[in-house]
Amino acid sequence: MALRVLVTDGMDAGAMEQLRKDGYEVVEQFYEPDQLGTALREFDVVIIRSATKIKEPQIDAAAGSRLKLIIRAGVGVDNIAVKYAEEHGIQVRNTPRASSNAVAELALALLFSCARNISIAGHTMRENKWEKKAYSKGFELAGKTMGVIGYGRIGQMVGAKGQALGMDVLSVVHRNKPEGCECETMHFVSMDELLSRSDIIVLCAPGGDRPLVDAESLAKMKDGVVIINVSRGSNVDEAALLEALNSGKVKAAGLDVWMSEKDPNWALAQHPAVSCTPHIGAGTKEAQKRIGAELVDIVEHFGK
């Protein structure tokens, strides 16, 4: 009997075709949370992105069925109850390498937008307004200090790109210190030192129990700091950030991720000092092809 693969949030068309050529039955369909668990019983593998969440209720409904593998087409797996799934005999995999460069490039794109007022200046141009004087007060990245919180694959790419632009880079190591990163323009420091010294702070860390940017951490930052978040929406206290933007404590923010993607904080998104995108970090043709190729490899290895 052919292995059945459910794709809930879409994937690269070439990768999907390759799985079908390999003899797998691939079904592309999104299910609401209350229907997903039952649907999963009819599949051996499910491939999800960020829209689908597989938590305890879905795993309970699917437990004991043919489902044996959940694959997250992306880096973070916080939309999956990983330990609970594994306790019920369901493997969990992800594609951590494929989208790293795309996310790192978006972080820099948001930073450039913040530095030169590109988002708001472009918006006013579309309203037939010539606001040259208002938006000719940007800043250059060269010579600035960029703190990168989360120095994994994406963070290291952000750091390397920042150094290439003439910035000094700081980060914090909580577990294993990446080798070969430290140099004249890159140093590991304490969190308090990173917060107090950085002109720009880029969040690349997994989501945790509490926000990395909240009223307490904001108070430790430089006045006029710029904050970029391409990690998880839960890493930012959105109310605290909005207050800091209104007070001028935070000069600008670039946000790709949100506490709620169904109903994001529109007051924050519409703030004139915010450059924002709707969670498109991995949204490049190249990244999607790499993710697709990695998904095919995972499924084929599982099928053997």
Whether 216 is catalytic is: no
CB 159 within 8 A of CB 175: no
- Name, in order, each residue with C-beta under 8 angstroms of 132's C-beta and a sequence gap of 6 or more: none
Whether 271 is catalytic is: no
Q: Pairing relation of β-strands 274-276 and 225-229? A: unpaired
- Which among 153, 279, 290, 294 is annotated as catalytic? 279
- As a whole number of angstroms, the distance between CA 292 and CA 150 comes to 25
For the stretch 163-170, contacts whose Cβ atoms lie closer than 8 Å and that sit 24 or more positions apart, written own/partner, are: 165/108, 165/141, 166/141, 166/142, 167/141, 167/142, 167/143, 167/200, 168/144, 169/145, 170/145, 170/146, 170/194, 170/197, 170/198
Q: For residue 213, what is the DSSP state?
A: B
In three-state secondary structure terms, 5 is strand
Query: Position 49: which residue type?
Result: R
Whether 279 is catalytic is: yes
CB 178 within 8 A of CB 153: no
- Name, in order, each residue with C-beta under 8 angstroms of 243's C-beta and a sequence gap of 6 or more: 215
- Which among 153, 232, 271, 290 is annotated as catalytic? 232
Which residues carry out catalysis? Answer: 232, 261, 279
